[in-house]
Amino acid sequence: MSIVVATTSPGFGRHGRLPQLLEETGWEIIRCTDTALPDGGLSQHIGRADFLVAGLVPVNAATIKDAPRLKAVLKHGVGVDNVDIPACTTKGYPVTSTPGANSNAVAELAVGMMFSMARNIPYGHMNVISGGWDRKPGTEISGKVLGIVGLGNIGKLLARKAIALGMTVVASDLYPDQAFITEHGIEIVELDTLLARSDYVSLHIFGGTGNTALIGAEKLSLMKPSACLLNLARGEVVDNDALASALSQDRLRGAAIDAFVTEPPDVSHPLFKLPNVVFTPHSGADSLEALENVGLMVISDIKDFIAGRRPPRVLNPEVYDR
C-alpha cells in the first residue's frame, strides 16, 4: 500500500527540487486546497491519509477524528497556533513544524514593507500608471527606531537587517536571548515603552487567545502619529477596527498587513479603503527559497516517521511515552 500524504498547504512540494523529490518517493499527494470549502476538502480525504501536511486550515479534534491511518501531523511552516496539539497528542499523533526554514523570507518582507511605507511606493506606482507625476516626499529608514515584538528567529534576522540599515532596534520578548541582544546592542523594553518609542513596530509573535487583539485602541494610542505598524504575525493579534480608526484620524501614519483573521479577508472593512495601508496575501514566507527549505524539512520528517525514527522537530514528544 502506497503512502498517502494529504496537504492543506498550497505551496507544499511545488518549488525547487521538491516536485522531483516527491515523485521519487512514490507517495500519493492529495491536495486539499479548494478555497471554496472551509477545510479545503480535507474532510473528504483525511480517512485515507497516512500523513497530514498542514497549512492554515485548522487541525483539531474534529479534523482528525476519522483518520484511522494517520501517523503524524506536519506543519508546513512555523506557527502552529492553528494546530490543536493536545488533541493530536490524545490521538497519539506526533506534531512537527519547520522552525527557521522561512524566517529570512518573512524578515525580508518586513524590510520591504518599511521601505514601501517610507517612500510611498504603492502610491507612486498607482500615480504614475494613472498618468500622474506626484513626487510625494517620503522619509528615510536610517536613523529611525524599529520596535520588534517577538525576538525569535524572524525577529533576530529582522533586527540584524535593520541595524545594517542604520536603524536603532528595541524589542519586547518574554524570554530574550541575552547573548544576541548584547552582541547587537538591542534594548529589551516593555511593550508599552516599545510602542511609544518606535517609528516602526513589527509584530512577530504567535496568535491564539493570549495575543488576541493585543494591539488594540489602547496600545495604538501609545504610538507616535508618525509611526507605522507591521503585522506579519497572525491576523487576530491586531484589532483592525481600532487600527482603521487610528489611521483614518491621522493618529498613525501607516500600516502594512500580511496576516488576516479570515483569509481571504472581507475587503468591505474600512481598513481596505485607506490609502496609507499596504496589504500582502499572507505571503511573508512565500519566497522560492523558503518554500523549498520548508518542504525539504517536511519530507525529511515524513521519511523519519516511515523508517520508525523520531524526527528532531517533534513538538509533543510525550506521544512516544504512551
Query: Is 204 annotated as catalytic?
Result: no
**252 in the same domain as 155:** yes
**115 in the same domain as 255:** yes
Q: Higher model confidence: residue 38 or residue 250? A: 250
Tell me how many domains the chain contains. Answer: 2
User: What is the reported pLDDT for 209?
Assistant: 80
Q: 15, 197, 234, 253: which is the annotated catalytic residue?
A: 234
**300 in the same domain as 172:** no
For the entire predicted model, the pTM comes to 0.91
Which long-range contacts does 81-86 make (Cβ < 8 Å, 24+ apart)?
A: 81/206, 81/207, 81/208, 81/234, 82/54, 82/56, 82/57, 82/58, 83/54, 83/58, 83/59, 84/58, 84/59, 84/60, 85/315, 85/316
Q: 45, 253, 282, 313: which is the annotated catalytic residue?
A: 282
**62 in the same domain as 14:** yes
Task: List the domain range (segments joined by +) for residue 81.
Answer: 4-101+287-321
Query: Is 135 annotated as catalytic?
Result: no
Tens digit of each residue's pLDDT (9 = 90 or more) over 225-276: 999 999 999 999 999 999 999 999 999 999 999 999 998 999 999 999 999 9
**What is the pLDDT confidence band of residue 1, given thresholds at 50, 70 and 90?**
low
Tens digit of each residue's pLDDT (9 = 90 or more) over 281-320: 999 999 999 999 999 999 999 999 999 999 999 999 999 9
**261 in the same domain as 208:** yes
| Residue % of the chain over a pLDDT of 70 | 100
**197 in the same domain as 139:** yes
**204 in the same domain as 137:** yes
Q: 263, 269, 289, 309: which is the annotated catalytic residue?
A: 263
What does each C-alpha distance from 53 to 46, 299, 301 come to in angstroms?
11, 10, 11
Element (H, E) at 52: strand 51-54
**What is the pLDDT confidence band of residue 79, given thresholds at 50, 70 and 90?**
confident
Cell numbers 518542504 correspond to: 295
**What is the pLDDT confidence band of residue 121, given thresholds at 50, 70 and 90?**
very high
**253 in the same domain as 114:** yes
Tens digit of each residue's pLDDT (9 = 90 or more) over 12-36: 999 999 999 999 999 999 999 998 8
**96 in the same domain as 60:** yes
Query: Is 24 annotated as catalytic?
Result: no
**78 in the same domain as 135:** no
User: What is the reported pLDDT for 89?
Assistant: 97
98 neighbors 294 (Cβ within 8 angstroms): yes
**204 in the same domain as 161:** yes
pLDDT at 130 over 90: yes
What does each C-alpha distance from 102 to 53, 108, 225, 283, 293 come to in angstroms?
16, 10, 32, 11, 7
**140 in the same domain as 161:** yes
pLDDT at 322 over 80: no
**What is the pLDDT confidence band of residue 208, given thresholds at 50, 70 and 90?**
confident
Q: How far is CA 132 from the centre of its chain?
A: 35
Instruction: Return the CATH number at 164.
Output: 3.40.50.720
User: What is the reported pLDDT for 233?
Assistant: 95
